Structure 1
Amino acid sequence: MIHIPDWSALFLHFGILSLFSVGGPMGLIPDIHRYLVTEHGWISNAQFTDSIVIAQASPGPNILFLALLGWNMGLQAGGYFLALLGALGCLFAYVVPSSILFYITANWVEKNRSSRLVKSFKAGMSPIVVALLISSGIVLAGANGNGHNDFKLWLLAGLTVLMVLRTKVPMLLLLLIGGCIGALGVFA
C-alpha cells in the first residue's frame, strides 16, 4: 500500500542527502530507494525504477529523476497540484543546499587546488563515487524482484563493463544495444 508522503520530512531528507552527495544524485539511489520505498512506502518499486529510467532516457541532467519521484508521489497523494509541489520540492530540496555549499567552498578549493589536502581529498573520493554508482546499479537491478538472481542480466552487465574497459566501443552504442535487448524482451 502506498502512503501519503510527509513532505517536510521528505524535503529535509533530500536536503541532507544533497550535502553528502558525491558523484551526483545517481550515487544516492540506494538511500533514496530505502527511504521512499522500503522505509516509508511512499512510492512503489516500479514507480521508483520507472522514474529513473524515464529521466535517464530524457535529454537533460541526471537529477530529473528526483523531480519525477516527487511528481509520482504527489500525483498519487492528491492530484496535479501536489504532483507539481512534489516535483519542485524534491528538486529544490536537493539542489539548494548543495549549491550553497558549493558556492561557499568553490573559491577556497580553487585558491588551494595545488595543496596536498585538496589533492588527497579528490583522490580519495574517486573510489567512493565508483562504489556508490555500483551500489545504485545493484539496487536498480534488483528493483524488478528478480535482478539479484538473474544470471543472464548480470552476465550482460559484466560483458558490458569489460567492453567499456577493453575496447573503444562508444558507451552510447552499448546503451542503445542494451535498450534494444530490453525492448525485445530477451531477458523477460
Structure 2
Amino acid sequence: MRGEEIELRGVKVLPGFIDADAQAAMLAELREVARAAPVMRPVTRRGPMSVQMTSAGRLGWVADRRGYRYAPLHPETGAPWPPIPDSVLAVWRAVAGVAVDPDSCLVNLYREGAKMGMHQDRDEGDFSYPVVSISLGDEALFRVGSVERGGSTASIWLRSGDVAVMSGAARLVHHGIDRVRAGSSTLIPGGGRINVTLRVVR
C-alpha cells in the first residue's frame, strides 16, 4: 500500500510504491538478469564487499582492486549485460521526471549481515539526471548525510516496494545501508534484500 512521500535530507522516499504482485514479477525478471549475468562479490582495495552484485543495461557498475567504474561487459563471463527489465524501467519512467532511460541498472544482493558504507554516486558524466533506488525483500536502514563528507545524518527503514529518488541538490549526498533486518520479508527465498539502482551514465 502506497504511503505519503517522505523527504529525507532532500532524498524523496516513496513508501510502498510497488505493490506485492509487482514486486514478485520484478523479482522474477531480476532472476533472469542474474542467470545471464551471475552475481559477484567484488574485492576492492579495502577487501571483499559484503554485498553481491550484478548489472543490466548498456553499462554495468564494476568494483575491483583497480577502483570503481562502468564497463560494457561482465568481468567474469565477458558477455554484454542483459537488458534492463521492463518492470524496472517502468518504475524509472514513473518517478525519474526525465525523458531519458537509464544506461545502467545495478542489482545488489544483501544477505544477513551485509551493509554498504557511506558513499556518493559520482561515477556518472552528468549529475543533472537522478538516481532511482528500488528496495525488495528485507527492510534496510538507509542513512543519508550531506554532499560534504561527515556531519550529521538521518535514517529511515526502507521496506520492500519502497522507491527512493536522489535528484537536484540531493543528487550527490552521501548515503549508505547500515544494516538489514533479517526475516522482515518473505519475498526473497532464503531471505535477504535486493536493491536496484538506476543511473544515467552518458
| Shorter-normalised TM range | under 0.3
> Greater Rg, structure 1 or structure 2?
1
Larger fraction in helix: 1
Larger fraction in strand: 2
What TM-score does the superposition give when structure 2 sets the normalisation length?
0.24
Q: Per chain length, whose mean CA-contact separation is higher, i.e. which structure has more relative contact order (CA < 8 Å, sep 6+)? A: 2
What TM-score does the superposition give when structure 1 sets the normalisation length?
0.25
